[in-house]
Amino acid sequence: MAASWKPLLFQILLMLVSCRHINTKKSAPTPTPPVPITPLPTKMRSVVLKGSSHTGEHQAERIELLNPVKLSLECTWTGNQTKAPNITGYWTKDEIEIQDSRLTVSLENEQYNLRRVFSINSEENLGNYSCLFGNEAKIDFIVAAPHIKDVRDKPIVSYVGDSVVMTCKMEETQPMPTSWNWYKDNGTDKEQIFAAPQRYEITSTKWKTRLQVINLTEADSGPYYCGAVYAISTSMSHVELKVITFMEPLKPFISILIEVVVLVTAILIYERNRSRKNDEEESGTNADQNKKLPQGEDSGEEESSSMRKRNV
């Protein structure tokens, strides 16, 4: 009789120890409790893939999430021509097979059915979940936070000492972000930008955010990221800033200036030579003609002959 108490006592002791362990875990400040206190809402998504003769069928579904949820995904495949009674089905996340997800799926009502519940708590749980039926059918569920659609692909150019405004906006048809952040790339990682007088100015409304960088220097060049913050993760969009000095456009400007000066000088010199030649030739013609006809006509005649003689 004493022998049967011993394992029980041992178990109780063990439980106490583990409870204490759990207690210490709880008392220390932790970002997320291992087991959520309030149950996560559940979101269901079900996709039916119509089977056909060729293998390698594929379908994708986008799921947009704002908050942590329990996501229940269901895949139904109507099967191919050879309706095998049993088939292996499994799940992958980002092309990597999820452990212990392989199941044998049996044909029910001419369909194969796979269902699994995923806890989407934070950013690392987002990704591309796929259910696969053997090697033959695949359905993708792209689980992500709302992403920023219009991305400016060309860099924004600005000048040293000038200020520049970069904006990001979220389509109003999509859910509203809780807040906006701005980040700058400092070589290794993204560093968040905070408003500073005479340096950075951030104004955000619900759907738009605006970062103004004042008094630019060349070091400010580089990629900038705006992040739309949702409970589940932050969606980033990036914009490239390029800061140049005024020397850059000055170079083509100076070259055009030189070209203009050269042309004008050449034309004026040519005109002066021509009029000098005209004066010489005029003094050779008789004075009567000069009185009767206007001077212009005379020089016109000379011009025509001089144009024939002229070699450029």
Partner 1 sequence: MSKSKQRSESKAGEAEGPDGGWGWVLLAAMFISTSLVFGLMRSLGIFFVEFVHYFEESAQAISWISSTGLAAQQFFSPLGAALCNAYNTRMVVMTGGFLAALGLILASQATCLVHLYLTMGLISGLGWGLVFSPMVATVMANFTRRRTLALGLGFSSIGLSSFAFNPLFQLLVETYAWRGALLILGGLSLNIVPCGALIRTQQQSKAPEKVDSQSRSSCADVLQRVSSYLELSLLFERPYVTYTLGITLFNVGYFVPYFHLVAHSRLAGFSEYQAAFVMSAAGATDILGRILSGWFSDLGHFRLIHLLSVWTALAGVFIMLLPVSSLTGSYAALMVISMLYGFCSGALTSLAFAVVPKIVGVERTMGGLGLLQLIESGAGLLGGPLSGFLKDITGNYVASFMVAGSFLLLGSLTMVTLPHYFSRTDPPPPQRRSLVDKSKSLHPELQQMKSLPSDSNNQTAQHSGR
Q: Which residues bind partner 1 (CB under 8 A)?
A: 154, 156-159, 162, 165, 244, 246, 248-250, 252-253, 256-257, 259-260, 263-264, 267-268, 271, 275, 294-297, 299-301, 303-304, 307-308, 312
Min dist CB 172 to partner 1, Å, is: 20
Q: Which is nearer to partner 1, 92 or 159 (CB)?
A: 159
Backbone angles phi, psi at 136, to 5 degrees: -105, -35
Nearest distance from C-beta of residue 263 to partner 1, angstroms: 4
Count Cβ atoms below 10 Å from residue 192 Cβ, excluding itself: 10
CB of 271 to partner 1, least distance (A): 7
Residues 6+ apart with CB under 8 A from 63: 43, 45, 71, 141, 142, 143, 144
The total of other beta-carbon atoms located within 10 Å of residue 2's CB is 5
Return the number of the residue (23 or 275) whose C-beta is nearest partner 1: 275
Closest CA to 73 of 40, 47, 104, 108: 47
Task: Identify which of residues 57 and 301 has a Cβ nearer to partner 1 in the complex.
Answer: 301
Give the number of other CB atoms < 10 A from CB of residue 31.
5
Least separation in angstroms between residue 193's CB and partner 1 is 20
CB of 237 to partner 1, least distance (A): 17
| Pairing of the two strands 234-244 and 156-159 | parallel
- What one-character DSSP code corresponds to residue 177? P
Q: Which is nearer to partner 1, 106 or 255 (CB)?
A: 255
| Closest approach of partner 1 to the CB of residue 56, in Å | 35
**Is residue 103 within 8 Å of residue 163, measured between CB atoms?**
no
Measured from the CB atom, the residue of 78 and 212 that comes closer to partner 1 is 212
Closer CB to partner 1, 231 or 261, in the complex: 261
Distance, in Å, from the CA atom of 222 to the CA atom of 204, rounded to the nearest integer, reads 22
